[in-house]
Amino acid sequence: MSKNQKIITALSLMAAAIIIMTFASMPSAGSKELTISDVMANAEKYDGDYIMTEGLLNKETVQWNADKIELQFEIYDENETKLPVVYKGVQPDNFTEDVIVIVEGFISKNGVFEAEKVMTKCPSKYEGEDMENYDSEMHKEIYKDAQE
């Protein structure tokens, strides 16, 4: 074997090691991305899974308890399926009617989503040509597209 081949072999082995490491650290860190309808229909099945889902905010349902630092709200998807969410934290910026809210956390047996993370989809008009017609109809459409 020439020196070149030896070096290449050694490097390939290292590359393989790094790639294996990449794969190995995969499953523990994942969150399942589901639709609200799916989460609500199969709450039992997803018990204990770390889930990510998104929907439009119903502003009227927002309740904020400052002493307990607890935020409650409902988001809904294009089938109008509602998902009640509890979050031990504060509301993010741009938390307004019909904005797309991304939540990550667990679904509890009584059908309430216990969120660990609540984000609003970057409010920015930046990068978003569909935001040009900023109204709820458009939002629902974007939302539907995103689901497909």
Partner 1 sequence: MYLIGNITLYLGIVIAAYTIIANVIGIRKQNNKWIESARGGVLSLLFVSLIASFLLLYLLGTSQFQFEYVAAYTSHNLPMVYKLTAFWAGNAGSLLLWTVLLSVYTAMLVFSKEKQNSMMPYVSSILSLNILFFFVVMILGGNPFAMTETIPADGKGLNPMLQHPGMILHPVTLYLGYVGLAVPFAFAIGALILRRMDAEWIKLTRRWTITAWLFLTLGNMIGGWWAYLELGWGGYWAWDPVENASFLPWLTVSAFLHSVMIQERKGMLKTWNISLVILSYLLTLFGTFLVRSGVLTSVHAFGSGPLGTYFLIFMAFMMLFSIYIVISRYQLIKKESIPIESYFSKESSFLLNNLILVAGAFAVFWGTMYPLISESLKGTKINVGAPYFNSVMAPILLLLLLLMAVCPLIAWQKATVDRFLKNAIWPFAVGVLAAIILVVVGVKGTFAIIGLASTVFMFATHVQEFLQGTRARMKATKENIAKAIYKLTRKNQRRYGGYIVHIGIALIAIGVISSHAYPEDILKTVERGENIAIGDYVLTFNGLTEQTENGNGIVTADLKVDYNGKNVGSINPEKIFYETWPEPSTEVAIKTNWKEDLYVVLSSWENSEKITLQVKVNPFVSWIWIGGGIMVFGTAIALIGGRTNSTGLLKAFRAGR
Which residues sit at the interface with partner 1, rule CB under 8 A? 2-4, 6-7, 11, 14-15, 18-19, 21-22, 25-26, 28-34, 52, 54, 64, 66-67, 69, 89-91, 93-96, 100, 102, 104, 119-132, 134, 142, 145-146
Q: How far apart are CA 84 and CA 76, in angstroms?
A: 9
Tell me how far CA of residue 20 lies from CA of 11, 14, 24, 77, 132, in angstroms. 14, 10, 6, 38, 44
Q: In this complex, which beta carbon is closest to partner 1, that of residue 114 or of residue 130? A: 130
CB of 18 to partner 1, least distance (A): 4
CB of 84 to partner 1, least distance (A): 20
The least distance separating partner 1 from the CB of residue 108, rounded to whole angstroms, comes to 20
d(CA 43, CA 57): 20
Smaller CB distance to partner 1: residue 69 or 111? 69
Of 18 and 110, the one with the shorter C-beta distance to partner 1 is 18
Token pair for 126? 């930046």
Query: 73: buried, middle or exposed (CB in 10 Å: 19+, 13-18, 0-12)?
Result: buried
Given a contact cutoff of 8 angstroms between Cβ atoms, the answer to whether 55 and 79 are in contact is no
For the bound state, the minimum distance from the C-beta of residue 7 to partner 1, rounded and expressed in Å, comes to 6
Length of the chain: 148
Q: Which one, 132 or 137, has the nearer CB to partner 1?
A: 132
